[in-house]
Amino acid sequence: MIYVFLAEGFEEIEALATVDVLRRAKIEVKTIGVDSEIIESAHNLTVVADVRDIKSDFSYLSGIVLPGGMPGVINLQTSAFVKHAIDFCVSENLLIAAICAAPSILGHMGVLNNKKVTCYPGFEQELKGATVIDQDVCRDGNILTARGPGSAIDFALEIIEYLKDEKTAQKIADDIVY
């Protein structure tokens, strides 16, 4: 199970394209509403999350996705539930995927030490302990990062490759005429 966290002000393309592509690969995904089941995105799109953070547990968790967007990233960063999910994934060596400004949350938590990562331009100084790589998507162990909305499909395909395999990711890419 992959949790995709949605907080007020999340970036729609990064969150919803990722959910869509992962579900096409038959990866079980739940959107988790931070502080509410009804979440408004950065561009005023209202989304109903599958579940709210307080109703979620980590029993079947394979990893998490942290979308960017402002003030979505700030709202993710202030959520005790999101921090607990990140800590759980670190302790269990599960996938932690963050896109756009969201890798900054991991930098602030000290999760990126000695990791190669990428992020939205201008957030590099927030990636404490990391080596910043100039590419759209970067995977280092269980940490997967991406630059922004324009790299959302590549981000999702890399998650598929991590969780399943390259063949499955390529099939999905072909299916969506990528």
**Residues assigned a catalytic role:** 100
Closest CA to 30 of 64, 68, 67, 2: 2
All residues at 6 or more sequence positions from 165 whose CB lies less than 8 Å from its CB, including other chains: none
At position 114, the amino acid (one-letter code) is N
Residue 81: strand, helix, or coil: helix
Q: Alpha-carbon torsion 7, 10, 20, 38, what sign?
A: positive
- In this structure, the dihedral spanned by the alpha carbons of residues 132, 106, 162 and 40, taken in order and rounded to 10 degrees, is -110
CA-based nearest residue to 53, from 109, 103, 95, 7: 7
In three-state secondary structure terms, 167 is helix
